[in-house]
């Protein structure tokens, strides 16, 4: 195989929702992502997920406001110890989240597309088990890979299935959540709080980001010096590999020979 005839789309990250993989494949172009477990992406995003969960559990925003208002009291938070946390998506980020939460003394459950692959959790299920496991969780962390098959998976029915007063954290993609349904669940108090790093309308996320029961960040989960350094090295190494005529690593397709010459 003459790799020189093939182009390459190399993503600086793990998400490929903005890449037309089918069109690239048809044109003889490789598409590659960076593995979250090697690039520092999973570690960094998992840390932010834990930050959001802790801030919600301990009502950090309320405590800071009390201090600003001169009230040296409350609020009463919730300890993670003994709580059940459901991680939806047990890829690299989900595994990293589980590793970081285990020392807090939580009970971990998980949802993944292929539950037979297991994971670092006490209970695991597939997509059909989502609503059942939502009902047993005190907190839910969404770390699922986004695609057309699971768009809007956290809809009104999913939030209704959650335990009353549960917390919700999303560090995956905004398209996984029906934002109107989450707003309604927050307004009713059924969902006690949400920690959101991602939104449908980025970079203009709308009213959900300003809700008093939401702790919001502007899609910064992966943005640490560790991730940028590790990712840059992997990115450059894979580009060089392709330039040297070798099949690139971490590809998501296997294109046939291009039907027409690539532009120089």
Which of the residues are catalytic? 173, 202, 219
- Tell me whether residue 4 is exposed, middle or buried, using C-beta atoms within 10 angstroms of its C-beta: 0 to 12, 13 to 18, 19 or more: exposed
For the chain, the C-alpha Rg in angstroms (whole number) is 21
Measure CA of the first residue to CA of the last residue in the chain; give whole Å. Answer: 19
Report the alpha-carbon distance of residue 4 to residue 81 in Å, rounded: 55
DSSP-derived secondary structure for 129-186: GHHHHHTT-SEEEE-PPP-GGGTT-B-HHHHHHSPTTEEEEE-S-GGGB-HHHHHHHH
Report the alpha-carbon distance of residue 235 to residue 133 in Å, rounded: 38
Q: How far is CA 61 from the centre of its chain?
A: 23
Torsion over CA: 127, 133, 135, 141 (sign): negative
Report the alpha-carbon distance of residue 180 to residue 183 in Å, rounded: 5
Fill in the DSSP letter of residue 261: P
């Amino acid at each position: 195989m003459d790799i020189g005839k093939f182009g390459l789309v190399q993503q600086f990250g793990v998400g490929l929702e903005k890449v037309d993989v089918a069109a690239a494949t048809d044109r003889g172009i490789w598409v590659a992502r960076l593995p979250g477990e090697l690039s520092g992406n999973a570690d960094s995003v998992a840390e932010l997920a834990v930050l959001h969960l802790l801030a919600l559990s301990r009502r950090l925003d309320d405590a800071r406001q009390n201090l600003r208002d001169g009230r040296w009291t409350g609020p009463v938070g919730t300890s993670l110890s003994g709580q059940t946390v459901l991680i939806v998506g047990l890829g690299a980020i989900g595994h990293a989240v589980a590793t970081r939460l285990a020392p807090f003394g939580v009970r971990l459950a998980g949802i993944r597309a292929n539950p037979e692959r297991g994971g670092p959790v006490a209970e695991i299920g597939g997509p059909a088990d989502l609503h059942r496991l939502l009902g047993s969780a005190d907190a839910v962390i969404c770390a699922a890979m986004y695609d057309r098959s699971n768009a809007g998976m956290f809809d009104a029915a999913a939030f209704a299935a959650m335990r009353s007063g549960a917390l919700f954290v999303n560090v995956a993609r905004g398209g996984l959540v029906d934002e109107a349904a989450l707003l309604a669940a927050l307004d009713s108090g059924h969902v006690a709080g949400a920690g959101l790093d991602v939104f449908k309308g980025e970079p203009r996320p709308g009213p959900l980001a300003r809700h008093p029961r939401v702790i919001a960040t502007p899609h910064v989960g992966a943005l640490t010096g560790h991730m940028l350094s590790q990712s840059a090295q992997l990115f450059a190494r894979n580009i060089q590999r392709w330039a040297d005529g070798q099949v690139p690593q971490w590809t998501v397709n296997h294109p046939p020979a291009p039907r027409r010459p690539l532009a120089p």
